[in-house]
Structure 1
Amino acid sequence: MLSSTGKWYVGNLSRDVTEILILQLFTQIGPCKSCKMITEQSSNDPYCFVEFFEHRDAAAALAAMNGRKILGKEVKVNWATTPSSQKKDTSNHFHVFVGDLSPEITTEDIKAAFAPFGKISSSHKNVFVRGT
């Protein structure tokens, strides 16, 4: 989900760029609600998040700032996404389909049969009625 107000990720920044400089540049486009600079030692380049009060100002910032050189580096500007939009890691999820079961088999029977192989997060029994 995109930020509803207008929050930007601004990357590929020079280590000499400060929050004050970013705010000076971005407030020329429109009033900024916040600016948060992230300067991790493990990261090659710092980056920041800039949030505008108005969505239209944030949209104008893309055209004005993406690819612009700030202190000798061409910055990358993209819409910031909220954490809820990040995909859930399903690399350790496994699904098993078991078909042609007798109608008498219950969900609990299925869980009991597969329990020796590991934790079962959920099980579902679907009943399909064949048409005439």
Structure 2
Amino acid sequence: MDDECYPKTLYVGNLSREVTEILILQLFTQIGPCKSCKMITEHTSNDPYCFVEFFEHRDAASALASMNGRKILGKEVKVNWATTPSCQKKDTSNHFHVFVGDLSPEISTEDIKSAFAPFGKISDARVVKDMATGKSKGYGFVSFYNKLVRFRCNNSD
């Protein structure tokens, strides 16, 4: 198994304001060695959250299974995978990108792929989702291998 192709970073959300990086590392290193912990607290209206990176996928998977739903300082935490492994990501930096906004909440990545397929070969498409809730943020991106040719719609009454 090529461990680089499997995620190693977890999102840990719904944290109490008293939780620290040190506490998270103490709890999660009991499951397996952690490479890092990054606490995000600057959003004053939202609960803090953090990202815990493990050295090994199997330890991250064990932590996900054992820590999701556990109470830390009186709050039930939410633990999910935080990232797509780098070997599964497509390098679209030289491709042509389109921002797609004002999407209805029920629009999926497959929906925007289908809608934009007639305009060229798509290299990547995604609806952006809130990491905590999994719900659409109402926008997304479509990447094309080639630059789109401008087209004009003529409406006649």
Q: 2:92 is paired with a residue of what secondary structure?
A: coil
CA spacing shift, 1:48–1:105, aligned 2, 3 Å: closer
Shift of 1:90: 15
Identity %: 93
Shift of 1:63: 1.2
CA spacing shift, 1:14–1:119, aligned 2, 3 Å: same
Gaps of 5+ in 1: 1-8, 121-132
Q: Give the structure with the higher percent strand.
A: 2
Q: Which has the larger radius of gyration?
A: 1
CA spacing shift, 1:91–1:73, aligned 2, 3 Å: farther
CA spacing shift, 1:12–1:87, aligned 2, 3 Å: farther
Instruction: For residues 93-124 of structure 1, give each alpha carbon's deviation from its aligned partner in whole angstroms, at most 9, with x where no partner exists.
Output: 9999999999999999999999999999xxxx
- Which of 40-49 and 67-76 deviates more? 40-49
Inter-partner Cα distance in structure 2 for 1:91 and 1:14: 38
Inter-partner Cα distance in structure 2 for 1:21 and 1:93: 42
Task: Give the paired residue count.
Answer: 112
Shift of 1:87: 12
- Which of 110-119 and 26-35 deviates more? 110-119
2:143 paired residue number:
none
Shift of 1:55: 0.3
Shift of 1:46: 0.2
Q: TM-score, normalised by structure 1?
A: 0.56
Identify which of structures 1 and 2 has the higher relative contact order when contacts are C-alpha pairs closer than 8 Å and 6+ apart.
1
CA spacing shift, 1:32–1:41, aligned 2, 3 Å: same
Inter-partner Cα distance in structure 2 for 1:118 and 1:101: 21
- Which of 73-82 and 52-61 deviates more? 73-82
Instruction: For residues 52-72 of structure 1, give each alpha carbon's deviation from its aligned partner in whole angstroms, at most 9, with x where no partner exists.
Output: 000000000011100000000
Shift of 1:81: 2.0
Q: 2:69 is paired with a residue of what secondary structure?
A: coil
CA spacing shift, 1:31–1:41, aligned 2, 3 Å: same
